[in-house]
């Protein structure tokens, strides 16, 4: 599922307000209570002053103009001016405090989640798509911090605005204030109803939008098929049904929004009409002034903004709380694989490694390994071969202690490996993955990932051992060359060489490699082979093998099928059996030689066009 | 359903090629054909709505001056006057509301309408662009344009253009109203307006930059996060959790600092402009109050002034923001027009539109194809003859020109010299639509769409297809059993939301698709190296079925798959270096074919030796 869809799906999930979650959300503010207090007070001040300014205007009319008192006008102006300055100070304070606090909460939450994710086990990653986790760390934290800062700001401003306006209206004329008070609830209800409908349309339009993007994407990627099958017209017609759906939803959302304010305004105007009618009579009775009428008109006209704000915050709050729930959920998940109490550092991994009747499954009732037993002598090289899904990766995952056996034991040097600390095991393992993973940054930084304190010479030495040095120096900036996001600026073969160098630098005692199935050119291939050889010397190694040369070199080959070892032995022993291994081997043999002579294309890289391509640097 | 849709031509209501213009504002105006009247009405409605609001304050003035002070009544009594005035307020509010709603609705009508037809046009247009355009343009870049840039234009029409109009109209109308009340008062009320406009323009330009830096840092953070999460095995295997935490901390803190700077800018601008505008208002109030005391204006005038001036001053601050944001719309217009400007590949050009099917006789005479850069010669002087029903195999290494050669047939590319006679007529004279309806392509890893398997099989057939027919094709393609084993059978979705098919299965679905299409010429990418032995046999059988009675071009990678061909073309660097049947070619000891054959034989011998060695 695409990240966009994940986000949409999660956004649409709203939470029922629950007190404990809400308390916990508010708990996030605790360390920053002074900041919260600061912006709470200042926004209240800003809002109250807005209402007061309207009141001062009334005073100018009633006490200045009506009484022909110039002095009074200047006095009021002086107060007015002072408060403008005050208000500006308060505006500065609340924007700064709420804004920076929002950034700070987001920073804290992201840090909390990221750090916790580092400790979570691979099983958690297997169950949660990366897109989902990213949404958790980015958009969910944003939504929660918005609620805690701007949500509070808007609510405070709106409530304070309504309250202080009402108070000033009551001071001016409490009978008229009562009229206004009756319409506020009506306005709020209408606002919420509008919000709900607009949001519903908005969601339809967002979902349709993601379908539209999907349709575009597919049509671009499959354009060859579209053209070959002459599907242009019907594809456009199908697409038009999507844009029509989109048009309906977004047009409706837009005109509903356009209807909302006028509706509220008309309601306010009805109240205004009542005010003027009734207020006129009050003036006649001497209970009301012209300035008072002016003030009431002002208060009423600007009443719709806080109402609109309250409706918005209310609508968004449910989504923010759902976000918070997901955040807490992640933060509360304990890591499945962790150090046992009293775990000691493993002194070395260069000892006998035993799988003793190991059972393993990722999901209940779907066994992956059953009763798996294996003994490996220090320094031995084991090649794992067999079909996809047979259990090869699981063996490696268990060996690295990314997962632990459900039944049975894995022993290193005769001792259950769960007696050792994770860190001590991991720091002695070197691993090269099937699809090499690099990080953005320079070549040097990527190699140094293997041992952070390594000197530049050591990095280059490791690159030489791994056979990566030669191509690195041909790169434009050599070791300082930027590899791009995920290493995208390099070819697959180059990435493999760098990840080999990284493993070399780590000086592991146990080396694990998942060979790439996709071919690289012959030169790189032989470099990789040589690098591997160098790495395996004097180390125990496990290789999920696809290459003949690797397989042939292994001390022992295990054919893994359905979670069991079906054949084991040396290359020649297994060939003689004429079983699974024999078939695998002959197929791979043909394929490799055909590739070498240039007749077959690299597996997994279908030929799409013969147009000239720039030669990769290796 | 599919077939019904193919009968009608899609109705693209507006050709955006007419909206190309070097002047971007003019171009945007040209885009608005059919929507100009609604949009102008939307703007005029805004004016009426603003007028009604102004009327409210003038009514207040009337109320204060005429009714309360001068005791002029409407109707008989004071009370009836109050009722009329109250009704006046409500009436004006209704007028204001109606016009404001009308304006909002028409603006949305325009923006959404233009967006919809823009999307339709782009979708249709892009799929009709040439094959080489698609080969050289990254999908991500196109997606970016058809999504973000289209949305930027939508916002231009729905918010920005109308937003500028709204603020300007509010200003003009209220300013005129105040001018009518009192010229002097009007002039003192707008002293700082030019200043604040300039400052807000300057500020929003700055803040846009700071915001972009903030967003860029967010992107850096996302990359770090993404790489960490996808590389979790590497992180764990090297026990680099602490290092990763530090790295994330650095980026996260960097974003915090950039956010802080952004907020500091905002927290300076808003209160400072509050002060300037606040004092401007206060100045007007005091000035007006003094005039009222001096009886230069009536109290009612003052009342109206106080109400009106608010709508004059505060919106100006936002004008800067909206004006700055319109530049996004302009940039997006340019980026979209880059795509719109591209030449389409005409589907229906050419003189020959035969009613029936082709025979499939193809005569290549000295055909050369030079790539669009004008230098790379992909094919050179290719000459051969393929008779109806024959199988032509193309053999050669990657980059030898095999794929380019077959790409000429459906006119994905145009040959640059020589001639290709199809059933005796020049290939270029056939319309692409006709050619493509007569040619079937089965690729090594065919692209399937994320729809049901049935829809994938019937994709491009262009007529109603019965379930029996679909199943018969699937059976012939040796894929029926696989499909039947899925819980939803033929309705199973392919891709993310459904099943993931293996390479071999995809290929067989494509074979079924091609069988249904029943083309006279077949292009086959015959590389079965990625599938296991069992499927290979099945696919081979399905392919034999498919090739029956069709002129077939096989892009081959191994000798086994070319041996049965009627003619084998051995290609090297765009030239045909050898041509003939297997029996002919094998005779030539020095030829490339023989070399390839020898190597293949040697591979088999080596394997036998290797196995013998262990025995």
pLDDT over threshold 80, residue A125:
yes
pLDDT in tens, A309-362: 888 888 788 888 888 999 999 999 999 888 999 899 988 888 899 999 999 988
The SS3 of residue B557 is coil
Q: How many CA atoms lie within 13 A of A519 on its CB side?
A: 22
Number of domains in chain A: 2
Cβ pair A402, A480 in contact under 8 A:
no
Q: CA–CA separation, A508 vs B132, rounded Å?
A: 49
- How many residues would you count in chain B? 615
User: Is B332 part of a structural domain of the chain?
Assistant: yes
The pLDDT > 90 percentage for chain B reads 52
The reply to whether residue B10 touches residue A119, judged by beta carbons under 8 angstroms, is no
Q: What is the separation, in whole angstroms, between the first and last Cα of chain A?
A: 35
User: Is B510 part of a structural domain of the chain?
Assistant: no
pLDDT in tens, A214-266: 899 889 888 888 888 888 888 999 999 999 999 999 999 999 989 988 898 88
pLDDT at A608: 32
pLDDT over threshold 90, residue B302:
yes
User: Is B128 part of a structural domain of the chain?
Assistant: yes
Q: CA–CA separation, A92 vs B265, rounded Å?
A: 10
Question: Do B267 and B173 fall into the same domain?
Answer: no
Closest CA to A39 of A105, A123, A112, A110: A105
- Structure tokens belonging to residue A482: 């930027």
User: Is B512 part of a structural domain of the chain?
Assistant: no
The reply to whether residue A103 touches residue B123, judged by beta carbons under 8 angstroms, is no
Q: CA–CA separation, A354 vs A372, rounded Å?
A: 10
Q: Number of A:B CB contacts under 8 A?
A: 471
Question: Do B261 and B242 fall into the same domain?
Answer: yes
Which domain does B266 fall in, by range?
Answer: 191-296
Closest CA to B513 of B450, B446, B468: B446
Question: Do B271 and B372 fall into the same domain?
Answer: no
Question: Do B430 and B368 fall into the same domain?
Answer: yes
Pick the residue of A93, A273, A289 with the most B CBs within 10 A to test the interface with B by mutation: A273
User: Is A584 part of a structural domain of the chain?
Assistant: no
- Structure tokens belonging to residue B292: 């009222």
The reply to whether residue B123 touches residue A236, judged by beta carbons under 8 angstroms, is yes
User: Is B377 part of a structural domain of the chain?
Assistant: yes
Question: Do B144 and B207 fall into the same domain?
Answer: no
pLDDT over threshold 50, residue A606:
no
Write phi, then psi, for A67 (nearest 5 degrees): -95, 5
pLDDT in tens, A76-107: 999 999 999 999 999 999 999 999 999 999 99
Cβ pair A111, A105 in contact under 8 A:
no
* Residues of chain B found within 8 Å of residue A68, distances taken between Cβ atoms: 293
- Structure tokens belonging to residue A333: 């998940």
Question: Do B265 and B366 fall into the same domain?
Answer: no
Q: State which of A302, A332, A362 marks the end of a domain.
A: A332
Residue in A66, A220, A272 nearest the CB of B89? A272
Number of domains in chain B: 3
The reply to whether residue A240 touches residue B120, judged by beta carbons under 8 angstroms, is yes
Q: Please provide the average confidence, as pLDDT, over all residues in chain B.
A: 88
How many angstroms away from the CA of B401 is the closest CA of chain A?
6
Please name the helix (run of DSSP H) or strand (run of DSSP E) that holds residue A543, with its range, or none. strand A540-544
Question: Do B594 and B567 fall into the same domain?
Answer: yes
Residue in B245, B274, B462 nearest the CB of A115? B245
Question: Do A301 and A436 fall into the same domain?
Answer: no
Question: Do B540 and B560 fall into the same domain?
Answer: yes
User: Is B479 part of a structural domain of the chain?
Assistant: no
Question: Do B339 and B228 fall into the same domain?
Answer: no
Q: Please provide the average confidence, as pLDDT, over all residues in chain A.
A: 86
Q: Which residues of B304-335 are buried (b: 16+ CB within 10 A; e: fewer)?
A: bbbbbbebbbbbbbebbbbbbbbebbbebbeb
User: Is A325 part of a structural domain of the chain?
Assistant: yes
Weakest-pLDDT range from A47-51, A106-110, A184-188, B147-151: A184-188
The neighbouring-strand residues paired with B365 are B419
The reply to whether residue B231 touches residue A243, judged by beta carbons under 8 angstroms, is no
Confidence of residue B496 (pLDDT cuts 50, 70, 90): low
Q: Region B349-358: what's the mean pLDDT?
A: 83
Chain B residue with the nearest C-alpha to that of A397: B233
Q: CA–CA separation, A236 vs B119, rounded Å?
A: 10
The reply to whether residue B119 touches residue A69, judged by beta carbons under 8 angstroms, is no
Pick the residue of A81, A228, A255 with the most B CBs within 10 A to test the interface with B by mutation: A228
Question: Do A294 and A413 fall into the same domain?
Answer: no
pLDDT over threshold 70, residue A538:
yes
Closest CA to A387 of A555, A525, A549, A587: A587
Chain A residue with the nearest C-alpha to that of B219: A138
The reply to whether residue B142 touches residue A427, judged by beta carbons under 8 angstroms, is no
* DSSP assignment string, B485-549: TSTTGGGPBBSTTSBPPPHHHHHHHHHHHHHHH--SEEEEEE--TTS-HHHHHHHHHHHHHHHTT
Question: Do A112 and A210 fall into the same domain?
Answer: yes
* Residues of chain B found within 8 Å of residue A612, distances taken between Cβ atoms: 371, 376, 378, 399
The reply to whether residue A221 touches residue B139, judged by beta carbons under 8 angstroms, is yes
Question: Do A364 and A445 fall into the same domain?
Answer: yes
Question: Do B329 and B432 fall into the same domain?
Answer: no
Of residues A540 and A519, more confidence is placed in: A540
CATH number at residue B71: 1.20.1560.10
* Residues of chain B found within 8 Å of residue A290, distances taken between Cβ atoms: 64, 68, 299, 303
pLDDT at B69: 82
Question: Do A425 and A536 fall into the same domain?
Answer: yes
Confidence of residue A388 (pLDDT cuts 50, 70, 90): confident
pLDDT at A356: 93
Which domain does A248 fall in, by range?
Answer: 3-332
Chain A residue with the nearest C-alpha to that of B516: A229
Question: Do A479 and A385 fall into the same domain?
Answer: yes
Question: Do B22 and B109 fall into the same domain?
Answer: yes
Residue in A216, A227, A426 nearest the CB of B238? A426
Chain A residue with the nearest C-alpha to that of B523: A228
pLDDT in tens, A389-421: 788 889 999 999 999 999 999 999 889 999 999
Q: What ipTM did this prediction achieve?
A: 0.85
Question: Do B28 and B159 fall into the same domain?
Answer: yes
Ramachandran region, residue A435 (left: φ > 0; alpha: ψ -120 to 50; beta: rest): beta
The reply to whether residue B104 touches residue A608, judged by beta carbons under 8 angstroms, is no
Question: Do A10 and A101 fall into the same domain?
Answer: yes
Question: Do A175 and A321 fall into the same domain?
Answer: yes
CATH number at residue A109: 1.20.1560.10
Question: Do A157 and A213 fall into the same domain?
Answer: yes
pLDDT in tens, A31-86: 999 999 999 999 999 999 999 999 999 999 999 998 999 999 999 999 999 999 99
Q: Over the Cα atoms of chain A, what is R_g?
A: 35
pLDDT at A11: 61
User: Is A561 part of a structural domain of the chain?
Assistant: yes
How many angstroms away from the CA of B330 is the closest CA of chain A?
22
* Residues of chain B found within 8 Å of residue A597, distances taken between Cβ atoms: 596, 599, 603
| CA distances from residue B30 to A378, B27, B37 in whole angstroms, order as listed | 77, 5, 13
Strand order in the sheet with B425-426: B377-386, B362-370, B417-422, B425-426
User: Is B9 part of a structural domain of the chain?
Assistant: no
pLDDT over threshold 70, residue B140:
yes
Q: CA–CA separation, A306 vs A157, rounded Å?
A: 7
Q: Where do the DSSP E strands lie in B332-412?
A: 362-370, 377-386, 391-395
- Under DSSP, the state recorded for B17 is G
- Structure tokens belonging to residue B104: 């909002």
Cβ pair B536, A591 in contact under 8 A:
no
Cβ pair B537, B376 in contact under 8 A:
no
How many angstroms away from the CA of A535 is the closest CA of chain B?
16
């Amino acid at each position: 599922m695409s990240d966009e869809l994940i986000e949409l799906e999660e956004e649409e999930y709203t939470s029922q307000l629950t007190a404990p979650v809400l308390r916990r959300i508010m708990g996030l503010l605790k360390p920053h209570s002074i900041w919260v207090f600061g912006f709470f007070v200042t926004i209240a001040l800003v809002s109250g002053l807005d209402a007061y300014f309207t009141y001062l205007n009334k005073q100018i009319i009633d006490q200045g103009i009506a009484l022909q008192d110039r002095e009074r006008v200047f006095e009021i102006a002086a107060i007015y001016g002072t408060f403008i300055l005050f208000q500006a100070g308060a505006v500065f304070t609340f924007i700064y405090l709420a804004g920076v606090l929002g950034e700070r909460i987001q920073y804290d939450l992201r840090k909390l989640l990221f750090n916790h994710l580092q400790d979570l086990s691979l099983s958690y990653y297997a169950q949660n798509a990366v897109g989902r986790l990213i949404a958790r760390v980015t958009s969910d934290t944003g939504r929660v911090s918005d609620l805690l800062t701007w949500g509070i700001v808007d609510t405070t401003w709106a409530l304070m605005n309504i309250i202080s306006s009402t108070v000033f209206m009551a001071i001016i004329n409490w009978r008229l204030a009562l009229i206004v008070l009756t319409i506020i609830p009506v306005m709020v209800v209408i606002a919420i109803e509008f919000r709900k409908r607009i949001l519903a349309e908005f969601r339809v339009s967002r979902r349709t939008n993601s379908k539209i993007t999907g349709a575009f994407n597919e049509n671009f990627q499959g354009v060859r098929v579209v053209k070959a099958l002459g599907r242009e017209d019907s594809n456009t017609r199908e697409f038009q049904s999507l844009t029509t759906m989109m048009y309906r939803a977004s047009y409706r959302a837009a005109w509903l929004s356009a209807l909302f304010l006028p509706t509220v305004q008309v309601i306010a105007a009805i109240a205004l009409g009542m005010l003027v009618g009734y207020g006129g009579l009050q003036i006649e009775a001497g209970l009301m002034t012209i300035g008072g009428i002016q003030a009431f008109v002002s208060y009423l006209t600007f009443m719709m903004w806080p109402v609109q704000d309250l409706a918005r915050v209310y609508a968004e709050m449910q989504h923010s709380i759902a976000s918070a729930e997901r955040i807490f959920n992640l933060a509360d998940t304990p890591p499945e694989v962790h150090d046992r109490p009293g775990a000691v550092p493993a002194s070395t991994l260069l000892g006998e490694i035993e799988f003793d009747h190991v059972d393993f499954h990722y999901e209940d009732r779907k066994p992956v390994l059953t009763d798996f037993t294996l003994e490996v002598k220090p320094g031995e090289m084991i090649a794992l071969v067999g079909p996809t899904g047979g259990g090869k990766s699981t063996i490696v995952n268990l060996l690295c202690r990314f997962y632990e056996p459900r039944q049975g034991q894995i022993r290193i040097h005769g001792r259950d490996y769960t007696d050792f600390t994770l860190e001590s095991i991991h720091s002695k393992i070197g691993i090269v993955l099937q699809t090499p993973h690099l990080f953005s940054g320079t070549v040097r930084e990527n190699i140094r990932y293997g041992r952070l304190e390594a000197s530049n010479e050591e990095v280059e030495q490791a690159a030489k051992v791994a056979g990566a040095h030669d191509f690195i120096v041909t790169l434009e900036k050599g070791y300082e060359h930027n590899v791009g996001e995920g290493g995208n600026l390099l070819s697959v073969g180059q990435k493999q060489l760098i990840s080999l160098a990284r493993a070399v630098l780590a000086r592991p005692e146990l080396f694990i490699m998942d060979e790439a199935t996709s071919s690289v050119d012959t030169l790189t291939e032989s470099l990789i082979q040589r690098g591997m050889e160098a790495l395996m010397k004097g180390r125990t190694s496990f290789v999920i093998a696809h290459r003949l040369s690797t397989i042939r070199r292994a001390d022992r080959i295990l054919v893994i099928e359905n979670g069991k070892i079906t054949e084991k032995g040396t290359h020649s022993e297994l060939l003689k059996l004429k079983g699974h291994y024999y078939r695998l081997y002959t197929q791979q043999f043909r394929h490799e030689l055909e590739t070498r002579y240039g007749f077959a294309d690299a597996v997994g890289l279908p030929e799409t066009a013969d147009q000239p391509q720039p030669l990769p640097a290796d | 359903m599919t077939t019904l849709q193919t009968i009608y031509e899609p109705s693209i209501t507006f050709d955006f090629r007419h909206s190309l213009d070097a002047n971007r504002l003019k171009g945007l105006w040209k885009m608005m054909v059919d929507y100009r009247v609604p949009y102008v009405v939307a703007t005029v409605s805004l004016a009426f709505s603003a007028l009604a609001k102004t009327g409210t304050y003038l009514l207040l003035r009337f109320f204060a001056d005429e009714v309360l002070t001068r005791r002029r009544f409407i109707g008989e009594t004071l009370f009836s006057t109050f009722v009329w005035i109250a009704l006046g307020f409500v009436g004006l509010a209704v007028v204001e509301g109606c016009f404001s709603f009308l304006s909002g609705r028409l603006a949305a009508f325009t923006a959404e309408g233009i967006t919809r037809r823009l999307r339709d046009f782009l979708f249709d247009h892009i799929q009709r662009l040439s094959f080489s355009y698609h080969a050289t343009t990254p999908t991500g870049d196109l997606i970016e344009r058809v999504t973000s840039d289209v949305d930027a234009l939508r916002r231009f029409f729905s918010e920005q253009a109308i937003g500028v109009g709204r603020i300007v109209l509010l200003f003009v109308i209220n300013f005129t109203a105040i001018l009518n009340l009192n010229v002097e008062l009007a002039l003192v009320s707008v002293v700082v307006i030019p200043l604040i406009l300039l400052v807000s323009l300057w500020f929003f330009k700055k803040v846009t930059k700071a915001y972009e830096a903030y967003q860029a840092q967010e992107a850096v953070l996302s990359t770090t996060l993404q790489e960490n999460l996808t590389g979790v095995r590497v992180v764990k295997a090297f026990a680099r959790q602490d290092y990763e935490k530090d790295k994330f901390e650095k980026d996260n803190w960097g974003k915090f600092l950039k956010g802080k700077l952004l907020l500091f800018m905002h927290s300076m601008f808003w209160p400072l402009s509050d002060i300037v505008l606040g004092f401007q208002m206060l100045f007007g109030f005091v000035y007006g109050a003094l005039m009222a005391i001096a009886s230069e204006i009536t109290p009612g005038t003052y009342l109206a002034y106080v109400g009106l001036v608010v709508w004059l001053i505060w919106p100006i601050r936002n004008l800067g923001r909206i004006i700055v944001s319109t530049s996004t719309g302009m940039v997006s217009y340019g980026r979209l027009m880059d795509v719109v400007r591209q030449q389409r590949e005409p589907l229906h050009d050419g003189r020959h539109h035969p009613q029936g099917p082709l025979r499939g006789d193809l005569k290549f005479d000295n055909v050369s194809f030079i790539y669009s850069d004008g230098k790379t010669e992909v094919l050179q002087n290719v000459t051969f003859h393929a008779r109806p029903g024959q199988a032509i195999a193309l053999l050669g290494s990657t980059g030898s020109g095999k794929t380019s050669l077959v790409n000429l047939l459906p006119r994905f590319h145009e040959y640059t010299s020589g001639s290709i006679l199809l059933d005796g007529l020049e290939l270029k004279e056939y319309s692409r639509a006709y050619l493509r309806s007569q040619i079937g392509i089965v690729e090594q890893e065919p692209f399937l769409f994320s729809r049901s398997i049935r829809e994938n099989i019937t994709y491009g057939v262009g007529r109603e297809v019965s379930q029996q027919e679909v199943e018969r094709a699937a059976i012939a393609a040796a894929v029926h059993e696989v499909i039947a084993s899925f819980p939803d059978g033929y309705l199973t979705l392919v891709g993310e939301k459904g099943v993931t098919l293996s390479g071999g299965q995809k290929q067989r679905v494509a074979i079924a698709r091609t069988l249904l299409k029943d083309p006279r010429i077949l292009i086959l990418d015959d590389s079965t190296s990625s599938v296991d032995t069992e499927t290979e046999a099945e696919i081979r059988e399905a392919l034999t079925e498919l090739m029956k009675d069709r002129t077939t071009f096989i892009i081959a990678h191994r000798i086994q798959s070319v041996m049965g061909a009627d003619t084998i073309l051995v290609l090297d660097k765009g030239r045909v270096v050898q041509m003939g049947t297997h029996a002919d070619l094998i005779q030539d000891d020095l030829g490339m074919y023989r070399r390839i054959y020898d190597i293949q034989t040697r591979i088999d011998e080596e394997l036998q030796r290797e196995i013998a060695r262990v025995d």
